[in-house]
Amino acid sequence: MTHRSFFWFILPTLTAMLLFIALPIVSVFIQSLYVGHEQVLVVSKSCDPFGCEEVTSVDTEATEALREAEPLGKFNGIDTYINRSHLAFAEVSAAWRDTENLGEFFRQIYNLRFYKALAFTLAYTIVVTPFVLLLGLAVAVGVNNLPRIFKGPTIFVSLLPMIITPLVGSLILFWMVDADGVIGATLQRIFDDNALSLKASPTLTWIMLIVYGIWHLLPFSFIVFYAGLQTVPTEVMEAAMIDGASKWERMRHVVVPHLMPLVIFVTLILLMDNFRVFEPIVGFSAEAHARSLSWIIFNDLRESGSPLYGSAGATSMMTILGVAVLLTPVLIRTWRDFNRKAH
């Protein structure tokens, strides 16, 4: 392909990517550098059915004038990124200075909302991703070895967790793990403990969210690996069998290497998905014990009645950065493989 025809070939894709991916990110980044205007407050008397009181209110005309002058807001530079609600440089260094041991230092860091969310987000990603990869492969191999007649129905049933909308799925499970629900009551019976509650303990909440994450994402890796298994060359498998390779050795030395590109692809997608974990936290009402970066963004934008665009923008940018950091090792590996093949 000449450069010229390549350019015309790629142009529509490039335009779409620029419009729908690059521009919004740039706009969010710019927004994250600004904060709201000063609100001009005036003291006024407010009366309602229950009495009168002195309150402050916003002088909308004066505030409007400020807004007209600078529609984007007040330039704040990277202050939003390093304030206490985000990277909290000042608080982290103060904690480092003032604490005597690492345990106390981490306890103080964990009290900062960004790091608390980061801790859960990373833990979730790091646990869920390998489990989904391994279990997905195991299920795929299992289904692949089923008699033909059972394959169709098994695949259909295995895909169900993914067909259910995450929010709905987590809500259904949330009701089931209630102390009066099927799972919750059964667990109480098994452990003979009437106070056992999956919703009240931080550890159990984390486990519940992680198990849900694995359950929800398993079908994705399963179906990709299952498709990959159909392309394993029978000649190689037969040769390995003749060489006396056991089932396990065939799996380890023939099937897995053959599926490696798929493993990388699934890992990439899983890392990205898991780092943005959000719905289960809302669905399970788990905000008390587990908050993710995406949940912080949601909270900033929705809950206070007046959205904190700058703060949410800063957290979004750092989420993108976090995904990029997580993906780097996988991408480097792919790049090396690509170069090795090219030479």
Interacting residue ranges for other proteins, rule: CB under 8 A: 35-39, 41, 43-51, 53-58, 60-61, 63-64, 74, 80, 83-85, 111, 113, 178-179, 194-195, 197, 199-200, 202, 285-289, 299, 302-306, 308, 310-311
Q: How many CB atoms lie within 10 A of CB 272?
A: 14
In the bound state with other proteins, the residue whose beta carbon lies nearer, of 176 and 330, is 176
Alpha carbon distance 288, 279 (integer Å)? 15
Closest approach of other proteins to the CB of residue 297, in Å = 13
Closest approach of other proteins to the CB of residue 50, in Å = 5
In the bound state with other proteins, the residue whose beta carbon lies nearer, of 113 and 250, is 113
Closest approach of other proteins to the CB of residue 111, in Å = 7
Going from the C-alpha of 188 to that of each of 172, 183, 193, 337, the distances in angstroms are 19, 9, 5, 51
Q: What is the largest CA-CA distance in the chain?
A: 92
In the bound state with other proteins, the residue whose beta carbon lies nearer, of 64 and 249, is 64
Helix (DSSP H) and strand (DSSP E) numbers for the chain: 17, 4
CB 322 within 8 A of CB 46: no
Closest approach of other proteins to the CB of residue 228, in Å = 41
In the bound state with other proteins, the residue whose beta carbon lies nearer, of 110 and 156, is 110
In the bound state with other proteins, the residue whose beta carbon lies nearer, of 32 and 274, is 32
What DSSP character marks residue 250? H
Closest approach of other proteins to the CB of residue 82, in Å = 11
Burial class (CB in 10 A: 0-12, 13-18, 19+), 164: middle
In the bound state with other proteins, the residue whose beta carbon lies nearer, of 216 and 291, is 291
Polymer length in residues for the chain: 343
In the bound state with other proteins, the residue whose beta carbon lies nearer, of 50 and 338, is 50
One-letter amino acid identity for 214?
I
Alpha carbon distance 204, 197 (integer Å)? 8
In the bound state with other proteins, the residue whose beta carbon lies nearer, of 238 and 303, is 303
Phi and psi, residue 74, nearest 5°: -95, 130
Region class of 51: left (phi > 0), else alpha (psi between -120 and 50), else beta? left
Closest approach of other proteins to the CB of residue 161, in Å = 23
In the bound state with other proteins, the residue whose beta carbon lies nearer, of 119 and 272, is 119
Closest approach of other proteins to the CB of residue 261, in Å = 43
Closest approach of other proteins to the CB of residue 304, in Å = 4
Q: Please give, one letter per residue, the 3-state secondary structure of 119-182.
A: HHHHHHHHHHHHHHHHHHHHHHHHHHCCCHHHHHHHHHHHHHHHHCCHHHHHHHHHHHCCCCCH
Question: Using CA of residue 196, residue 198, residue 199, residue 200, what is the dihedral sign?
Answer: positive
Local structure of 42: helix, strand or coil: strand
Closest approach of other proteins to the CB of residue 302, in Å = 7
